[in-house]
Structure 1
Amino acid sequence: MALGPRLDLRQTQSLVMTPQLQQAIKLLALSNLEIETFIGEALEANPLLDMGESAPNVAETVEIPEEARRTSLESSPVDALIGEGRGADDRPLDIDPATLDRDRDTGDHDGGGFESGDWGGDSRFAMGEEGPSIEERSSSEETLAEHLEAQIGTATEDPRLAAIARYLIGQLDEAGYLAVAVRDVAEDLGLALTEVEQGLLLVQTLDPTGVGARSLGECIALQAQEADRYDPAMARLIDNLDLVARGDFARLKRICSVDDEDLADMLSELKGYDPKPGLRFGGVVGAPVTPDILISARADGGWDIALNQATLPRLIVNRSYYVELKGSCTDKPSKGWLSEKLADANWLIKALDQRQKTILKVSAEIVRQQDGFFRHGVSQLKPLTLRAVAETIGMHESTVSRVTSNKYLLCDRGIYELKYFFTSGVAAADGEGAVSAQAVKAAIRSLIDAEDAKAILSDDALVDLLRAKGFDLARRTVAKYREAIGLGSSVQRRRQKALAAVR
């Protein structure tokens, strides 16, 4: 066989990720606020696009009673210029990633990991007893550093000392503690250790009292000194905070040389000090969570589901400007440019319309599956996976994963991330069906909140009580869920309630 260059003709099939397809995949994962930013950039890049009036109320009606049937999506209007054989299919957008490198463009996974996931309180922003309100998650206050630096000018007239103090303020963490060693600061600034220590003393005189501390004990001691209560007994108590945490009151009385009444007064005063004074002030200004989907109950027992149009601008093609430009385009490059812009505008409008349909369709199925939650609360939350929703509505589960990413739903119970409704299941005690892990966590919290301080429930006791409620769990599972919701062991809770009972 001769060696040498030659030409071969081969025919292969491959899927090409066109810019339009990449854009459609990207749009699915964006929230309404991110879509608003995306649209702003599109308006700058394409002169044929224009902002229209508020979009019509694109909504989905879900009938839950008796037959538990689903209704089909209503058609939403698309700009009349979308046509010419492009995008005529008005189905909700669904991209099958089986043949795509889906992680490359969006960073999303196909949702397989979510099926056994446990979506806890971190992904939920509810109101009332089920979580902090939305207002509590946003902060527009001055930061700790701003508050402290504003006091430097009146605290000292020495510019060198003020500069050291400002540098130390920049090294404080969000709780107000000095995050670096004083010796390291001295080496970094090329100063004597005594100068840096003087700067730290200046910082520790600022409001709030306790900032600039290097440990919890020092933070509490500064506040006790400010309150003129830092006597030898209190000093020894602060030096033994580990014994306070363990509830070893007998040993504390011996160390502090006090009786029961004095120790109770000291512990009561200790509880009045702030272990993290810096948290009173805002850090990075946080934006409030804005819901993408709005759900309201209907008089006939169903649900109305609509997109939040307040955060969803509507795009249209500026027909008059297009006609004007078309009349002015006489050469071939100009006509090609105008045709390209028109095609881009049409595709973007179509993609946005299909995105709305897809979000509504997925949201409607979630509401149908979790009807008990919306009516009765977290105790009725059912196990649900991305695959179950995807198979029911005829989409790929990665599409459902993208749709539920960074999307929030507003209902009478508060604001929840869509992924909150996808939880793992726990077998029921009667062997029929399964219950949501979130419902189990709510039951554990309820039992522990109601326990008597003199009869703390062990994990074994919780297992028995949960089994009586219909939850069949092993002891280690109960312990895992208890720790996941931030509740200590029976020993820890007994010490905490003993400490809380001390007055």
Structure 2
Amino acid sequence: MTPDLRRAIGLLKLSNQELAHEIALEARSNAALVLREPAQDLALSIFRREPHRQPPLAVPGGGGGMAEALGVAGSPGLHDHILSELRLSLRSADEIEIGEVLALSVSPWGWLDRDLGEIADELGRPVAQVEAVLRKAQQIEPAGLLARDLRECLWLQAADRDVLSPVMETILDNLGLLGAGKLEELADLAATSTDKVRATLALIRSFDPKPGLRFDPAPPPESEPDILVRRKAGGWVVDLNRSTLPEVSVDQDDAHTSEQRKKAEVLVRAVSRRNETLLRLAAEIVRRQKDWLEQGPSHLAPMNFATLAAELELHETTVGRLAAGRMMATPRGAVTLRALCSAAIATQNGDQVSAVALRHRISGMIAQEGRRPLSDAQIAARLEADGILLARRTVAKYRAQLGIASAAERGANSGVGCV
């Protein structure tokens, strides 16, 4: 194995933040390695100093551990919440069509992640019509959803709380100054005192800059996601999370030894190879799981490391190293790449359904069973009628994985016997 390949393999298992730490350690001992940290968002830094995250909303209709058993962000999530609310407030078919595209165009934070002109062009609608639907969509609770940037997200929340004073508006129009701690300059702009600016800052810190995360039923990830998935015209765009990745290059100054430059060059090539391979893997997963992104867990496609490796012409162990622990932020929540892999179960007509989609289907049946709980045998019979052969004991296993009690226990809890 060449030094380049050995180093690249060693970096495959690292998350973006772990990779940044590794590069920083190398840069301390090698002056030929140039490290440029990613630019930080000063405005968001006011929330980093005093972390603020609302607890996740409850996921109705499922037992304890359902989201974990599904392996991917459960339903209902951010998409479903926005869509269900829009269908209550929008009347015409044209408005609903625009609303559906808006719902698919939110980032995991809950912000609108596409330009309105791009959406208008895709739908063949006037920008003014898209903007009118957006204004209605921005009335959805919690306030701040479908904002186009941090300022608008906070503005919507200030308006919702009826605290949108002239001082508040001035501060929201100058969030960069607030993040830089230039309170006196803000006080001059707002024609008020620094004490009033501090009081307004305290109020702003009580807002939620990322309201979309409240709809992710999975626990918040311990680190920032490595990959970002966004809806764009004609499909989905996959990118590395550059806010967690430093840029590295080699300083060719003669002051550095040839050994230092050689080591730096090996690391730079290894980082580039690692990033390129991770991006290729994520893009292939998103291509295969497009239906999951757009329609939810019941549409998760069967997928495993072997098929991914064959498609990408990589070794299966390489795919395993890349997927282990790598987080991907999507409008359906933050998920690991590994969680989107699910075993295939054959149907009678020769098609395949993923085990995750099947568990979600069983959960949906139970959620809609009414006053008479369905037994595992009845669920198996309904699945067989749809062409899916599943033994009763397998249904029982999947139900247990979902954290859902047996029919007898559900009947006892509701005071109704099972049939």
TM-score, normalised via structure 1 length: 0.47
Runs of 5+ unmatched residues, structure 1: 1-16, 56-118, 136-284, 327-337
Which residue among 281, 295, 305 is the counterpart of 2:229? 295
- Counterpart residue identity of residue 390, structure 2: L
Q: Distance in 1 between the 2:269 and 2:18 partners?
A: 18
Contact 1:451 1:457 in 2 (8 A): yes
* Alignment-derived partner of residue 188 in structure 2: none
- Counterpart residue identity of residue 10, structure 2: K
Contact 1:383 1:423 in 2 (8 A): yes
Does the C-alpha gap of structure 1 residues 124 and 458 become closer, same or farther in structure 2, counting only changes over 3 Å?
closer
Does the C-alpha gap of structure 1 residues 286 and 480 become closer, same or farther in structure 2, counting only changes over 3 Å?
closer
Which residue among 342, 366, 381 is the counterpart of 1:423? 342
Deviation string, structure 1 residues 15-56 (Cα, Å, up to 9, x no partner):
xx666544321200111111111111111121111223649x
Q: Distance in 1 between the 2:73 and 2:333 partners?
A: 4
* Alignment-derived partner of residue 477 in structure 1: 394
Alignment of 1:170-249 (within 5 A): none
Runs of 5+ unmatched residues, structure 2: 40-65, 79-107, 110-218
SS at match of 1:129: coil
Deviation string, structure 1 residues 275-333 (Cα, Å, up to 9, x no partner):
xxxxxxxxxx9863421111112212x221100000011112234xx32x15xxxxxxx
Q: Distance in 2 between the 1:54 and 1:31 partners?
A: 16
Contact 1:384 1:423 in 2 (8 A): yes
* Alignment-derived partner of residue 166 in structure 2: none
Contact 1:390 1:396 in 2 (8 A): yes
- Counterpart residue identity of residue 374, structure 2: L
Q: Deviation of residue 439 (structure 1)?
A: 0.6
* Alignment-derived partner of residue 99 in structure 1: none
Deviation string, structure 1 residues 242-288 (Cα, Å, up to 9, x no partner):
xxxxxxxxxxxxxxxxxxxxxxxxxxxxxxxxxxxxxxxxxxx9863
Alignment of 1:31-42 (within 5 A): 31-42=15-26
- Counterpart residue identity of residue 301, structure 2: K
Q: Deviation of residue 123 (structure 1)?
A: 8.4
Q: Distance in 1 between the 2:370 and 2:69 partners?
A: 29
Which residue among 222, 226, 237 is the counterpart of 1:304? 237
- Counterpart residue identity of residue 49, structure 1: L
Which residue among 414, 434, 444 is the counterpart of 2:362? 444
Which residue among 278, 284, 294 is the counterpart of 1:365? 284
Q: Distance in 2 between the 1:46 and 1:125 partners?
A: 41
* Alignment-derived partner of residue 276 in structure 1: none
* Alignment-derived partner of residue 316 in structure 1: 249
Which residue among 3, 19, 26 is the counterpart of 2:10? 26
* Alignment-derived partner of residue 398 in structure 1: 317
* Alignment-derived partner of residue 129 in structure 1: 76
1:382 paired to 2:301:
yes
Contact 2:225 2:327 in 1 (8 A): yes
Q: How many residues align?
A: 252
SS at match of 2:18: helix
Q: Distance in 2 between the 1:483 and 1:376 partners?
A: 25
Q: Distance in 2 between the 1:389 and 1:484 partners?
A: 26
SS at match of 2:314: coil
Q: Distance in 1 between the 2:295 and 2:380 partners?
A: 24
Q: Distance in 2 between the 1:49 and 1:292 partners?
A: 23
SS at match of 1:399: helix
Q: Distance in 2 between the 1:50 and 1:122 partners?
A: 44
Does the C-alpha gap of structure 1 residues 399 and 18 become closer, same or farther in structure 2, counting only changes over 3 Å?
same
Does the C-alpha gap of structure 1 residues 297 and 395 become closer, same or farther in structure 2, counting only changes over 3 Å?
same
SS at match of 2:8: helix
SS at match of 2:415: helix
SS at match of 1:51: strand
Q: Deviation of residue 469 (structure 1)?
A: 3.9
- Counterpart residue identity of residue 442, structure 1: H
Deviation string, structure 1 residues 105-127 (Cα, Å, up to 9, x no partner):
xxxxxxxxxxxxxx982684637
Contact 2:75 2:296 in 1 (8 A): no
What is the root-mean-square deviation of aligned Cα atoms in Å?
A: 2.8
Alignment of 1:62-141 (within 5 A): 121=68, 124=71, 126=73, 129=76
Q: Distance in 1 between the 2:263 and 2:283 partners?
A: 30
Q: Distance in 1 between the 2:223 and 2:73 partners?
A: 11
TM-score, normalised via structure 2 length: 0.55
